Amino acid sequence: MRKIIHVDMDAFYASVEQRDNPALRGKPVVVGGPPNSRGVVSTCSYEARVYGIHSAMPSTQAYKLCPQAIFVTHHNFSKYKEASDIIRSIFFSYTDLVEPLSLDEAYLDVTENKMNNPSATRIAQEILKRIFDETHLTASAGVSYNKFIAKIASDIHKPKGMTVIRPEEAEVFLEKLPIGKFWGIGKKTEARMKQLGIEWGSDLKKLEMYELLDLFGKSGSYYYNAVRGIDDRRVEPEHTRKSLGRENTFSSDLTDSHEIMAELEQIGARIEEDLRNQNVQARQLTLKVKYHDFRLCTRSVQSPTILRNKEDILSLVPDLLNKTEAGAIPVRLLGLSLGKLQGDLYKEPQAQMELNLFASENP
């Protein structure tokens, strides 16, 4: 049986800002887009969460909930990365089986570990203490026998908390868990389940596999196993990135074709820098367009030649753009992404590495 720890930093970006600026401590801090923009909240301090602010919320809504909140919209991303690197090095001092999910969270398999410590609980305690001692930031941890339960457990006693769910405790823990707390059940699925009378894990557990498959399609098997504490996924220390992209959301909708192309040129330049930094190249390009009415359009092409730089990328953009209604219909968002990557594909997922706060939107 595995011993898995999930470590999740507490309000990471906001905490780094508060750590480095004493004037922000104890204040409601929102890291994200400006309150008068189409940006969203990346994260916020626990003082801001009291007002109902949460990540992925539009910045305008966050401002309405707490006008006195301090919006941090100019970021020195290097300090987030620096803190994350220190935290990552702490993880690797215990085990090589580290699966980063983002800058601020990761799974660790400590079944066998470099300290020869048989207690995953004690290892988690040491890790949380070392994180605070070395970064002056706090984290929370979940400890259990699989990734699914460890992930849920890390959120139970945030901030600065640790929850241990032993195998013999898992059944009761999951049966008493509100359905919205199950990892993988989003707001829409939660609402649908509640309409069906599924409020708690115990309610979900009453349904047979065929019933869940009928109600929720392929996800039904996941729900069936999850509520029974079944998760055989291993902690995977190596991740190969499958795509690389950038996008931008505009404060005012774009209608001019020259302006649209100019924005895509800027995005292409940023992707060229990413290609160079990651030492990769690509064979596929995808254009993403979101219109003013939130309709999403994507167009892709397989490149006959290797895409190495901005010029290679932009040579394919006009044909893709002509297959959309961009300009004829006002454009809210533009994005480019590369697929079929080749080269020294790096092994860390970069979901939050870019922290493109001004370009993010509600999913």
- CATH classification at residue 181: 1.10.150.20
What single DSSP character describes residue 176? T
19, 110: one domain: yes
Cα within 13 Å of Cα(294), Cβ side: 4
Residue 125 token pair: 């305690």
Q: Which pLDDT value is given to residue 7?
A: 98
| Lowest mean pLDDT segment, chosen from 175-189, 238-252, 296-310 | 238-252
Is 126 in the active site?
A: no
Is the same domain home to 79 and 133?
yes
Confidence of residue 353 (pLDDT cuts 50, 70, 90): very low
Per-position DSSP letters for 328-351, written without gaps between them: TB-EEEEEEEEES-EES--SS--T
Number of folded domains in the chain?
A: 3
256: containing domain: 243-346
CA dist., res. 76 & res. 73, Å (int) = 10
What pLDDT is attached to residue 280?
A: 83
List the Cα angle 295/180/143 in 5-degree steps. 120
| Residue predicted with more confidence, 140 or 327 | 140
Model confidence at 240, pLDDT cuts 50, 70, 90, reads: low
Residue 155 lies in a domain: no
Amino acid 345: pLDDT? 43
Looking at the fold, whether 78 and 36 belong to one and the same domain comes out as yes
Say which of 105, 247, 272, 348 is annotated catalytic: 105
216 lies in the same domain as 255: no
Q: What is the pLDDT of residues 48-80, one digit of tens each?
A: 999 999 988 999 999 999 999 999 987 778 899
* 204-227 average pLDDT score: 95
